[in-house]
Amino acid sequence: MKSKLSLSNKKYTFDLKSLLFESKLVFVFLIIGLVMSITTSCTDRRSERTDNGNIPNLSENLSVTNDDYFPDRVLVGYEDEKDLDKIAELIEGTLLLKIPQIRAASFKVEEVEKALEILQGEENIRKVKIRYAEPVYRRNIIPCEVGQGYSNQTTLSTYGSYQNYTNESLDFYLWGLRAIGIKKVWDRGYDGTGIIVAVLDTGVDGTHPDLQGQIMKGYRPSKGEELPEGTDSSYGGSHGTHVAGTIAAKRDGKGVVGVAPGVKIMPIVLFDSGGWYVGDDYAASGIIWAVEHGAKVLSNSWGGAGYSQALKDAFDYALAHGVVIVAAAGNSKSSQSFQYPANYPGVIQVGAVEYLGNKYDIADFSSGSPMLSVSAPGVNIISTMPQKTSVGYDKRSFQIAENSGYYGFMSGTSMATPHVSGFVALLLQEYPNAKPWQIRRLLENGAIDIGEPGIDERSGYGMINQRSVSSELPDNGGLNLDVEVTDAYGDWKIPSVSVSLIGTSNTDRRVRYFSKTNGDGVAKFLNIDTGKYDVIISGPDSRENSEGLSNVVYRKAEERVYYANRSFTNDSSITFNFSSQARIKFKNVSGNEFLILQSKDGSTSTTIELLSNQIDISHLSGRYFIKFGYPSPVLHNTTVNATITLNGYDIRLSGYITAGSTLTTLYDAYGRNSHWTFFGKTE
Ligand code: CA
């Protein structure tokens, strides 16, 4: 894919002539631009070492991987902290991290597949109570391309005769601030003062002259280390420093200025040495640290596939504390809804805008989603880069004379996101007690339509605009919804059930929210839009009920699908009771055989006499083994055949009793994963 960002040298020369007089700097940048203007495809990339300055290689304590998840870590939602030692013992692992706020812990293990198999295995379930167990997924910073150079010369031709908009020395390149009309907001007295924005990224160079005084203390979860204010924490590269500058670079006439120069940036290092993702476990602890240390906005220019309950719980913790979450949609162009955190409910998902000289449009690379909220400038964005003496120094940056600071251009939804995060800080300064959905609605109401007319999946409600500030805070249109899923009797709160809300929001937008029931059987949808939705519930996830990642029970007959259509107008909680029907039919029984129904955790076992060749066991709820027995040992090897009709599906069962024995477990065709899941019967 060739992006639209390339520019012809012809046009370049033309503009060079007309602009040389504007600033001596222009010449310098055009030279840099000519050197660096080779564009490449703009897809999501693994956070391989793209930076090439001072960054040391891998972190010594954490393993890294190119797989979708870390091979030697497992994340467990625990019931009781006292069980952590027992869990460690069972999986022969060592506790890495405990996150009591969301009752989760991670362990270093030999093999995650094996650890999951052990935790879900029949003998171990009753020894330790766990709410869920999951692999630790890998995610990536969302760079598009660094240092594409100065190619927005078209910006200037459209803005007419160039006038300094922000009074910064690099103003010439700050098209994004013009695009959103930021000066009108500053003129009203809002610059973000008093608001803390956490930048969850590669760390931030607090020694940069344009960031000095802007960077408060932060956190490096992989080391459990607090970062003193104003220090260099650019361990994972230049990306986070660039993001931080777009939010809060100083308004001092030198270099660039951020959207909200009054805010304090809290660096949270989620991409550590070499740019490697620390994992959902450490990321969750970083999110919680930020919330507990006063962050009001979480800026997330990163993401990846894999629904993590722990990560969801950490973001829900932030939302429940009134913290606004902003996240990049991704640079893979296509419409997607698997990228997290962007697609967790309540998150403000952001697309990237480019400026085409006579109009703004959604950038070619910018991913879309039914959940995408707004878009913001994200192509050829100039911002701060780590200093030469800093760990994240990036050779593709350049230095300016006025303050000796380093700067560079980047493109991506990563760059659009901090425009929105900074803007949110301005709105929070105006409305300090606004709920996250109210802030989102302010952004959406004030956005300028771009791209496809009306609300669309790639630009959301449009590009953020200054008019959101000083507009009235909406007092309806958002809510928190809990969807609880239990068995027929309301006793078993069922985890890992998928819950989708699909329908039309109060603004007539077609939306789709997705969540899964957590370890307490509740799917949380915090700060979503009011509206009329189909609630589609399906599950539980066969894979997560299985013993490990490889030993999957592919028995869809066990999964239940429920549906309801509801209007949601204010905070609500609804419960769905799963039920199931199960009947076993034997070829022929003589009347004295029996069945043993034994719960998977071994806690209960019921023996039932088989008085006829059919038996209804629909009353059962939970995970069970089905065993068949004769009252006395059989004389010959005997095969037992039966059929279970489970929720309308016929599944063949068989067992084998060797001569001299009385009992066999009944297996399905796969012969293993022999437990069955039932939800009981509603009268
Ligand atoms: Ca500045």
- 3 state DSSP class of 485: strand
The span from the CA of 664 to the CA of 596, in Å, is: 10
pLDDT of res. 84? 95
- Structure token pair of residue 669: 């065709």
Cα(265) to centroid(ligand 1), Å: 15
CA of 215 to the centre of ligand 1 (A): 14
Query: pLDDT tens for residues 605-640?
Result: 999 999 888 999 999 999 899 999 999 999 999 999
| Bridge partners (DSSP) listed for residue 298 | 198, 325
Question: In one letter, which amino acid is 487?
Answer: D
* 210 Cα–ligand 1 center, Å: 5
C-alpha distance from residue 110 to each of 60, 92, 486 (Å): 17, 8, 34
Q: Which residues of 344-402 form beta strands (DSSP E)?
A: 348-355, 360-362, 372-377, 381-385, 398-399
Distance (angstroms) between ligand 1 centre and the Cα of 399 equals: 13
Distance (Å) from CA 413 to ligand 1 centroid: 23
In contact, 329 and 535? CB cutoff 8 Å: no
Instruction: Find the 383 Cα to ligand 1 centroid distance in Å.
Output: 10
Low-confidence ranges of the chain (pLDDT < 50): 1-52, 56-62, 148-158
Residue 249 alpha carbon to ligand 1 centre in Å: 6
pLDDT attached to residue 556:
81
pLDDT of amino acid 553: 66
pLDDT digits (tens, 9 = 90+) for 376-404: 999 999 999 999 999 999 998 999 999 99
Interatomic CA distance for residues 533 and 511, integer angstroms: 9
Cβ(238)–Cβ(146) below 8 Å: yes
CA 251 / ligand 1 centre spacing (Å): 5
Tokens of 257: 């200025």
| pLDDT of res. 119 | 85
Residue 428 C-alpha to ligand 1 middle, in angstroms? 23
Q: Which two tokens stand for residue 532?
A: 């009329």
- Measure the CA–CA gap between 284 and 96, rounded to whole angstroms: 13
- Can you tell me the distance from the alpha carbon of 185 to that of 613, in angstroms, rounded to the nearest whole number? 78
Question: What is the model's pLDDT at position 214?
Answer: 98
CB 36 within 8 A of CB 148: yes
**pLDDT of 150:** 46
Size of the chain in residues: 683
User: CA 135 to CA 502: how far, in whole Å?
Assistant: 28
Contact between 640 and 613 (Cβ < 8 Å): no
Q: Which amino acid is at 678?
A: F
Its sign, for the CA torsion 470, 472, 473, 477, is: negative
In this structure, are residues 409 and 147 in contact, taking their beta carbons and an 8 Å threshold? yes
> Would you state the pLDDT for residue 29?
39
**Which has the closest alpha carbon to 55: 141, 154, 157, 181?**
141
d(CA 677, CA 194): 53
Catalytic residues: 201, 239, 414
Cis peptide before 341 (omega within 30 of 0): yes
What phi, psi does 249 have (nearest 5°)?
Answer: -60, 150
Residue 69: which of 340, 277, 272 has the closest Cα?
Answer: 277
